[in-house]
Every structure is written in structure tokens, then in C-alpha cells.
A and B are shown apart, each in its own frame.
Chain A
């Protein structure tokens, strides 16, 4: 189920929230920040491994650490739209 088009932003955000929630074993919302939720670099790496496998793209870790999840997903979505994975 590719989510690599601009129309798929909400879908991508929900998927990332779902995966982060799974890794952190807690409910998360898109306006929360990954680090503040208890995330760390190993979980970020695992999250990016999944994203890479599914979409050929990864979250920018600096963005993930600084912005709310929804905005980090939006940044990724922008890159995906600009440079679709081969």
C-alpha cells in the first residue's frame, strides 16, 4: 500500500503515529514530539528501517527529534513527493 503521493499525507502521519505508538507501547498523537514521548535514537533507527523498507525514504532524525510527529511526517511526505523512491 504505497503512501508516496501528496494525497497520502494523513495516511503517512497516521502510520508513523501507529508505529511510534507500537515501539513506545503507548498511545501517541501527531502533536507530540518523539523524544518527549520517550523515544530514543535506537527506536528512531528501527522506525526508519520500516519506513525505508516500505517507502524507500526515511524520516530526517533531526526533524523527528525537534518537531511534533505530524510535522516530521509532513517533512518526509514533502521529500517523498519531490523524489519518489525508485
Chain B
């Protein structure tokens, strides 16, 4: 994939906006009809776990860890993480040498609570251990995070629990992910925060607040309504959450998050498994995917093909994207 003709590289103006706002989007990755066709096929592939890298029993109360990283066994998801419309834009932000280190489904069904406002830099918030680690700067841990490309596989509306973002909040963490939260699945769908039913998949993200008396400034929030096939790209350190699902039983929302870091970031440092949301996934079959450029650091376990033999051929944006 060595085409150097750039179609999706962010312009200097777009980059400046991204740096200021912490997100860009919605952007169209697929036409709605194309997304619907793809999602239909993906849905039928999900129950076949014969090549999935995590065991089926990694099931929390509401979060299915066993469906993390299904890009490693479902062809259309293998294709999706390599979509140039996403990868080139992310490479514009993070540089040309990029890993996809995690994918996750984010469903919302009738009656589901919204997701707490949160920020994630290390992703230690639920598991207790950093899941990504940027190289230290001046002998201090670097402030990092991941770039998440959240694609609407179905339409995403205020009624079915769309994402909400607070632009410009990505540079300062209001939460300390090292504090740890208690897992209480009995509280799911039972708590209101600022008059909105919200939770964090069995946790209460407020437990991580640096200042217990601080409250998210909801006046800064906006709701991100998206068509099927549209995507928003944002720093995981941006304040984000979602609305509760107040719609009908069949009008569910499905988001698919693809998470990227540059190759110098260590993924799952020192971890053999990840325990969060009431489940555990062993990492022995795990490998990050080089989606563009080269890995000149060699600090992560990579895989260049899916468990169905789909080959991940990294894009080469080195001629078009600066570091």
C-alpha cells in the first residue's frame, strides 16, 4: 500500500482545530448503505468464536471482554482498522508509524444508562494497571493517551445513546486513573448524575476525580449524532461520555472503537492478562497491528495477519506525514 498520493491527510487548519478541540468529525468512512451491508455481515460473524483470541467466558455484567480485538478474527473488522480514511488522518496526528492496539464494540440497548463522563490516559482506570505507556520525558511519565476512531456501525442519535464530547478538555486530566474504582454491577442503570442516568459499566467514574467536589461542566458538552459509517477521531483524554438509551427496543446503537498509538508506546506493559468490568482476558494470543509505517522500536508484540489469514499490510505515509 505504498500510494503516496494523500487523500485524507489532515490539512494544517484541520490539525490546528484538532489540537484545539481534541477531536475531528464526524467524517464519512462508509456510505450508510455500505455500512449497513458490512454491519449485517459482521453481526453474523460475531457468534463464530472459533478463531477469536479471547475465550468466550470473559464476560462481565454488561461488557463483553471476549469481543475485544475481533479485528483479529473477523475479516471485515480486519479491513476496517486499515481503512485509509481513518488511518491516514490518525497518522497526521500521531506520526506515520502507527499501531492499532485495541478494538471494542460499544452497544447501547433500550433502557441502558449513559456512560459517565471520563478521560483515559493509561487505561488503568478499571483494570488497575496501565494498558499503554508512553516513553518518559525528562525522567517523568509522559502524558499520553490513545487516539480513538469511534465509528457508528448503526445510526447514533440522542434517543439511542449517542456519544457526547466536551471540546478542548483533552490536555488536563480531571481524573487520576491510578486511584482505582470499585466494581459494583448492581448499580448498573440505577444512578443519576446531574439528572442523567449514567454509569461506567459497573463502576462509578467519579471515584477517580482528583477533586471530589468538582463537577463536569455540562454546558461544554455536545451530542454527536452520526449516520451509519461516520466516524469521530478523538483523544481518549478528551472528556467524553454518552446519553442513556431512551428509544425503542429495536433501535439499538452500535459503535466500534479502534484505538491507535505510535510505535514507541508500550502496549500492556508487564501484563499477562487484563481484568476489568468483571471479566479477564489472557494476552497470550494478543498482538498489536502495525497499520502504517514501520516499527523501529520493537517493544511490542505484533501480528501481521489475522487468525483467518487476513494480511495486515501497513500504509506508507512517511512521504506525506511528518513526525
Interface, chain A (partner B; CB < 8 A): 23-25, 35, 38-43, 60-62, 65-66
Q: In the complex, what residues of B have CB within 8 A of residue A25's CB?
A: 248-250
Total interface residues in chain B, CB < 8 Å? 12
What's the nearest-Cβ distance from chain B to residue A44, in Å? 9
Chain B 248-264, CB-CB to A under 8 Å as 1, else 0, gives 11101000000000000
| Closest Cβ neighbor of A39 among chain B residues | B250
Q: A13 vs B250: C-alpha distance in the bound complex, in angstroms?
A: 22
Q: Are B47 and A61 in contact (CB under 8 A)?
A: yes
Q: In the complex, what residues of B have CB within 8 A of residue A23's CB?
A: 249
What's the nearest-Cβ distance from chain A to residue B269, in Å? 33
| Closest Cβ neighbor of B44 among chain A residues | A65
Q: A24 vs B251: C-alpha distance in the bound complex, in angstroms?
A: 10
Q: In the complex, what residues of B have CB within 8 A of residue A35's CB?
A: 40, 43-44
18 interchain pairs (CB within 8 A)? Answer: A23-B249, A24-B250, A25-B248, A25-B250, A35-B40, A35-B44, A39-B250, A40-B107, A40-B250, A40-B252, A41-B46, A42-B107, A42-B109, A42-B252, A43-B249, A61-B47, A62-B44, A65-B44
Determine whether B48 belongs to the interface, using a CB cutoff of 8 Å to chain A: yes
| Closest Cβ neighbor of A61 among chain B residues | B47
Interface, chain B (partner A; CB < 8 A): 40, 43-44, 46-48, 107, 109, 248-250, 252
What's the nearest-Cβ distance from chain A to residue B265, in Å? 32
Known: A25-B248, A42-B252, A43-B249. 10 other contacts (CB 8 A): A24-B249, A25-B249, A40-B250, A40-B252, A41-B107, A42-B107, A60-B47, A65-B43, A65-B47, A66-B44
| Most chain B beta-carbon neighbours within 10 Å: one of A23, A41, A61, A62 | A41
| Closest Cβ neighbor of A65 among chain B residues | B44
Q: A39 vs B47: C-alpha distance in the bound complex, in angstroms?
A: 14
Q: In the complex, what residues of A have CB within 8 A of residue B46's CB?
A: 41, 65
Q: In the complex, what residues of A have CB within 8 A of residue B252's CB?
A: 40, 42
Q: Are A38 and B47 in contact (CB under 8 A)?
A: no
